Amino acid sequence: MTDRITLKGLRARGWHGVLATERAEGQDFLVDVVLELDLRAAARDDDLTKTVDYGVLAGRLVKVITGEPVDLIETLADRLLDVCLDDERVTEATVTVHKPHAPIPHEFADVSVRMRRGRAER
């Protein structure tokens, strides 16, 4: 059995992209994260130390989003996956990076990249 912790719509400003304007002006990125792990001990003991503190996780993810710029949101998603898998209790993680203001010359709702990795695939 695998339990899940989900964090949706984490928003932070980053300077990622291949265009000079993206690097100069920045834009908001939205991130969704799903962590798969066993939550029985945390639930049984009502103990935060036996689970992933999603507030702390959000802070670490924001540091990556607002940190060193990359060209591709695929690279950003991969870096965010590494943060999620840093906690040994997490067996698998899925990260979706949304770039709602991507420089596309047509009307669109969203562009996103979704990546999923297990601990063995790191």
**Domain CATH number, residue 22:** 3.30.1130.10
**DSSP designation for 26:** -
29-60: b or e for each residue (b if 16 or more CB lie within 10 Å)? bbbbbbbbbebeebeeeeeeeebbeeeebeee
> What backbone torsions phi and psi does residue 43 show, to the nearest 5 degrees?
-70, -45
Count of structural domains within the chain: 1
Residues acting as catalytic residues: 99
**Which residues, 6 or more positions from 81, have their beta carbon under 8 angstroms from its beta carbon?**
93, 95, 115, 117
pTM of the model: 0.94
Which H helix or E strand runs over 64?
A: helix 54-66
Tens of pLDDT along the chain (122 residues) come to: 689 999 999 999 999 999 999 999 999 999 999 999 999 999 999 999 999 999 999 999 999 999 999 999 999 999 999 999 999 999 999 999 999 999 999 999 999 999 999 988 76
**Domain span holding position 110:** 3-118
